[in-house]
Structure 1
Amino acid sequence: MFRHASRFLIRAAAGDGRSHGRTSAIAVARAFSSDVPAAPSQDTAFIEAWKKVAPNIEPPKTPLEFMKPRPPTPSAIPPSSPSTSSLPYQSEISSKEVDMVIIPATTGQMGVLPGHVATIAELKPGLLSVHEGTEVTKYFVSSGFAFIHANSFADIVAIEAVPIDRIDPSLVQKGLTDFTQKLSSATTDLEKAEAQIGVDVHSALNAALSG
């Protein structure tokens, strides 16, 4: 039965649409993280559809119930911007109130201040700066995405992020030299692509250290 649950639920939702005179496909709008209410809520449309096909079984929890509530979009620009920086294996920054974050977007360096317009930006290898008063914490990020929400929350999801003071400049120079040599001697497209990635990353590392 559970293997066909999604089909049954779609039929139930479609039936509701027909009963209200709607013949077009039904699209269920999901809330953005900045639109989540103050308390966890249930996906009422899913719960109602579930009860129609399995009234004796408790409905499973939906992603909406696990989403962490966030404050609504303020009417005025807040004094600081809560930021979160996450890696696949750990969280570097967790909802920290900061004055500004400068991210290495593929379109160029992007400064994120409180009240920034909602944006999604792809990250390239480069320097990520977190400004908190007079203190500036710098990380080197390899790639990822930055999600700037309308309520001034900034979520930065990177594949790798290393504090800049943990990077050995001599190893960066050695890596840049090695990959430059590999690029000049590469004979296949794969070898050229791998060597070019190495050159680009180590060049970005070198620029981050010198900056």
Structure 2
Amino acid sequence: MAKVNFRLVMPERELLATEADMVVVPGSEGDFGVLPGHAPLISTVRPGVLEVFQGNKAEQRFLVVGGFAEVTPERCTVLADEALPFESVTPEQLAERERAAERELTDAATEAEKTTAQKNLAIAKDLRRAQAYYANR
């Protein structure tokens, strides 16, 4: 059976390079699955969970913060701003990330700092929701 050549890359390093039966990417317009022979596309990636399937099972999951996905019929490459193996992140760590973003927002002195803090808070909340949803799957 054909496979998708998948790569997950962050600015500082490549996290994963593998062959997969399917990859599910949290796109900005909704999650999308990539199978062998997928139509070419480029999409932005929203904060959420990226899943790598072997057969009918998600063998690997990553919390991703954002980035871009490039899909061709043979491959899927996700260039992530930040990505963490799902199992390595606890709800407590995500709660602390959210609290830190709230403090950052409270301490923001300029409009630029406030805008950045609001974005970081929204990301933290999205990651907590995604982690809670996928925790028991």
Q: Same fold (TM over 0.5)?
A: yes
Q: Measure the CA separation in 1 of the matches of 2:36 and 2:115.
A: 39
Query: 1:202, CA displacement in angstroms?
Result: 0.7
Query: 1:185, CA displacement in angstroms?
Result: 6.5
Spell out the pairing of 1:53-132 with structure 2 (5 A cutoff).
Answer: 79-94=2-17, 96-132=18-54
Partner of 2:96: 174
Q: Is the 8 A contact 2:51 2:58 kept in 1?
A: no
- RMSD of the alignment, in Å? 2.0
What TM-score comes out, normalization by structure 2 length? 0.83
* Bigger RCO (CA 8 Å, 6+ sep): 2
Q: Which runs of 5+ in 1 are unaligned?
A: 1-77
Residue identity opposite 1:194 in structure 2: T
Partner of 1:163: 85
Q: Deviations over 1:1-31 (max 9, x none)?
A: xxxxxxxxxxxxxxxxxxxxxxxxxxxxxxx
What TM-score comes out, normalization by structure 1 length? 0.56
Residue identity opposite 2:113 in structure 1: E
Q: Which runs of 5+ in 2 are unaligned?
A: none
Q: Measure the CA separation in 2 of the matches of 1:183 and 1:106.
A: 24
Partner of 1:24: none
Larger Rg: 1
Residue identity opposite 1:208 in structure 2: A
Q: Deviations over 1:20-74 (max 9, x none)?
A: xxxxxxxxxxxxxxxxxxxxxxxxxxxxxxxxxxxxxxxxxxxxxxxxxxxxxxx
Q: Is the 8 A contact 2:62 2:86 kept in 1?
A: yes
Q: Deviations over 1:118-161 (max 9, x none)?
A: 011111222111111234211011222111113x2111221221
Q: Measure the CA separation in 2 of the matches of 1:192 and 1:169.
A: 25
Bigger share in helix? 1
